[in-house]
Amino acid sequence: MIVTDTHTHLYSEQFDSDRDQVVKRALDLNIKRFFIPAIDSSYTSSMLELEKSYPNNMFLMMGLHPTSVKDNYKDELLHVENMLASRKFYAIGEIGIDLFWDTSTLKIQQEAFKYQIRLAKKYKLPIVIHCREAFDEIFEVLEGENDDDLFGIFHCFTGTVEQANKAISFNMKLGIGGVVTFKNGGIDQFLNQIDLKHIVLETDSPYLAPKPFRGKRNESSYLTHIIEKIGLLYNRLPEQIADITTENSKAIFGV
């Protein structure tokens, strides 16, 4: 059994004091594949260092996070382009629209999102979508960009069953993490109506820790709690959940 965390910010400052121990705890539980989303250029060197320390386990993405889309976003997008031209990445992410923190940047968030979707198509890479209070806006962009080259993961999916099926219609897998264990998370009410072939696992660590660690720093080893909950919802063994979701991640990332 090999478990895949399709979304973890292991380079985050929150892991600076014990990063190696965090990775070891995950590896000891057969969590051996970590997909690392970008935020902006200020984190690129930290991501590259992480990959250097664990070359067989860390798979880097490149992109500009929607909450980092500021006045200098064109410079940031140029950095994304330059990095993509310089080496191998496994996805464009995380990208998307976030209207929780700032609605005034919607227009440039939409521009940055579309631009990076087109970069993904150019490099034949999946996209990893960040969506916060922006389902309609995300779907509008996807509708305009929809074709056979569009595919990826709807990271940290927290929508309705209708929104889940709409995301899947755009050739997206659903990234399921700690929210599935929350009493008021909502997705546990319908998730088993979604075929497991559309599901991948994630932590979004250091954020969104599952029960019983809710409110604390999240880490990849806590995927076991997410797998356990999903297993209950689907009436499958944890090993089956791990195997199916890892195969799904391979289909998306090509590795």
Tens digits of residue pLDDT in 197-218: 999 999 999 999 999 999 999 9
Which structural domain range is residue 195 located in?
3-253
pLDDT for 227 equals 98
Distance CA 125, CA 115 (A): 14
**Mean pLDDT within 21-25:** 98
Question: Which residues are paired to 95 by β-bridges?
Answer: 129
Retrieve residue 55's tokens.
């070359």
Please, what is the average pLDDT of the chain? 97
Q: Tell me, what amino acid is at 167?
A: A
Domain count, the chain: 1
Looking at residue 180, which CATH number applies to its domain?
A: 3.20.20.140
pLDDT for 154 equals 98
Closest CA to 188 of 246, 222, 245, 231: 231
**Mean pLDDT within 13-19:** 98
Task: For residue 153, name the pLDDT band (cuts at 50, 70, 90).
Answer: very high
pLDDT for 34 equals 98
Task: For residue 13, name the pLDDT band (cuts at 50, 70, 90).
Answer: very high
- % of the chain residues with pLDDT over 70: 100
* Cα→Cα distances 30→4, 121, 181, 224, Å: 9, 32, 21, 10
Tens digits of residue pLDDT in 70-125: 999 999 999 999 999 999 999 999 999 999 999 999 999 999 999 999 999 999 99
The answer to whether residue 185 scores a pLDDT higher than 90 is no
pLDDT for 22 equals 98
Q: Answer for the pair 205, 222: CB distance below 8 angstroms, yes or no.
A: yes
Cis omega before residue 228 (within 30°)?
A: no
Task: For residue 140, name the pLDDT band (cuts at 50, 70, 90).
Answer: very high
**Mean pLDDT within 165-170:** 98
Q: Tell me, what amino acid is at 171?
A: N
**Mean pLDDT within 231-236:** 98
